[in-house]
Amino acid sequence: MKDVLILGIESSCDETAASVVKNGREVLSNVISSQIDLHTLYGGVVPEIASRKHIERINQVIRQALSEADVTLEDLDAIGVTYGPGLVGALLVGVAEAKAIAWAKKLPLVGVHHIEGHISANYIENKDLEPPFLCEIISGGHTHLVIVKDYGEFEILGRTRDDAAGEAFDKVARAIGLGYPGGPKVDKLAKEGNPDAVFFPRAHVDEAPYDFSFSGLKSAVLNYLNKAKMTGEEVNRADVAASFQQSVIDVLVDNAMRAAKDYDMHVLALAGGVASNSALRKAFEEACAKKRIKLYRPSPVYCTDNAAMIGSAAYYEFINGRISGWDLNAVPNLKLGER
């Protein structure tokens, strides 16, 4: 069978990314231009700045992705692009770019759901992984527990009721003075702390055993810090980081293990930026070994936003005949499984 080459484009938040992917699983190039330094000044992503930077960088990023893969636009079979969920202005840059290239080169256009992209990151380094499997997607905007029934087909078991796990990391990081983006900084500082030093709540949602809730935990950390400030007590930031992180990890592991047991699933994949957390990876490795569950987790570079995952997801959409029309638009709150 002829090889299928897809150019993936990702611009849903603060990374401008392009990648050339062969047959859904082989990454020929993976270029990521991060805007983190710009947004750090403001303590979070500023949507207007994100869109402007995507416009400035996207052509160069695509050119570099093609050149590193040693291909030209003529060699491509399709263009895959994230069309939601995400920041509308940011998404629009990628969607308009993908449409322009696809139209000019008469190539099929494939709109990709960002979360489906995160899930597909697992296919890149694990040629043996095929649906069905259980997947926990833990990112800055989403926390989902799903069964991947087939490529592009999902049964959602649970989701967060309020903050996403990554959002909690970012907010707690800000509160203890670590700045944006919080996840990697909490991860690093927590290594020097004691996860049992402070007890923070592990929230479970009644009658929805696979749902998550992280806003109470965030408030508990803020209350702890405020109380210490008022009483003049010294705060050990590393202990707070480690204890907070442990609380998030315990809930994420618990819910996944419960779902694996209830649905008799023996394969679990992790996805999303928070899945690159070192303590979380270790906790899942231990829990899965105990329960004889085969665990997949992408390398950190494929956990956080990238376009290789979009190229991989686009391949499975493409070979299943799911091509987008020229009216493809950015959908900021696109639901998983919706097309």
Binding site for Zn ion (CB under 5 A): 139, 305
- Nearest approach in angstroms of CB 191 to Zn ion is 24
Closer residue to ligand KG4, CB minimum distance, 108 or 182 = 182
Shortest Å distance, C-beta 333 to Zn ion = 14
Nearest to 165 by CA among 42, 93, 250: 250
What 3-state DSSP class applies to 2? Answer: coil
Residue 169, contacted partner among Zn ion, ligand KG4, none, CB below 5-8 A by kind: ligand KG4
**Quick one: 265 or 309, whose CB is closer to ligand KG4?**
309
Give the total residue count for the chain: 339
Preceding amide of 132 cis, omega within 30:
yes
Nearer to ligand KG4, 94 or 181 (CB): 181
- Closest distance of CB 326 from ligand KG4, Å: 27
Shortest distance in whole angstroms from residue 71 CB to ligand KG4: 26
Q: Which CB, 76 or 245, lies closer to ligand KG4?
A: 245
Closest of 67, 86, 50 to residue 7, by C-alpha: 67
Q: CB count, 10 Å around CB of 321? A: 7
| 304 contact choice in Zn ion, ligand KG4, none (CB below 5 to 8 Å, kind-dependent) | ligand KG4
- Which tokens belong to 157? 């078991």
Least separation in angstroms between residue 306's CB and ligand KG4 is 8
Binding site for ligand KG4 (CB under 6 A): 13, 139-141, 166, 169-170, 181-184, 187, 272-274, 276-277, 304-305
Quote the least distance from Cβ 118 to ligand KG4, whole Å: 6
User: 183 touches which of ligand KG4, Zn ion, none (CB within 5 to 8 A by kind)?
Assistant: ligand KG4
Query: Residue 219 Cβ, how far from ligand KG4 at the closest point, in Å?
Result: 18
Distance (Å, rounded) from C-alpha 293 to C-alpha 71?
39
Our CB check for ligand KG4 shows the closer of 101 and 297 to be 297
Which C-beta is closer to ligand KG4: that of 228 or that of 279?
Answer: 279
Q: What is the DSSP string of 184-208?
A: HHHHHHHTTS-TTSS-------TT-
The set of residues, in sequence order, having a beta carbon less than 8 Å from that of 100 and lying 6+ positions away, is: none
Round to whole Å and give the CA distance between 5 and 339. 23
From the list Zn ion, ligand KG4, none, which binds 94 (C-beta under 5 to 8 Å, kind-based)? Answer: none
Name the binder of 184 from ligand KG4, Zn ion, none, CB < 5-8 A by kind: ligand KG4
187 binds, among Zn ion, ligand KG4, none (CB under 5 to 8 A by kind): ligand KG4
Residue 277 interacts with which of Zn ion, ligand KG4, none, CB < 5 to 8 Å by class? ligand KG4
Q: Which does 170 bind (CB under 5 to 8 A by kind): ligand KG4, Zn ion, none?
A: ligand KG4
SS (H, E, C) 17-86: EEEEEECCCEEEEEEEEECHHHHHCCCCCCHHHHHHHHHHHHHHHHHHHHHHHCCCHHHCCEEEEEEECC
The CA–CA distances, whole Å, from 143 to 158, 165, 296, 336 equal 8, 6, 17, 12
Alpha helices for the chain (secondary structure H)? 36-40, 47-69, 88-105, 114-125, 165-175, 182-190, 215-231, 237-262, 278-290, 300-303, 308-319
Cβ 166 to ligand KG4 shortest distance, Å: 3
Q: Which is nearer to ligand KG4, 108 or 195 (CB)?
A: 195
Cβ–Cβ < 8 Å for 154, 201: no
Nearer CB in complex with ligand KG4: 102/274:
274
Report the residue closest to Zn ion, judged by CB.
Answer: 305
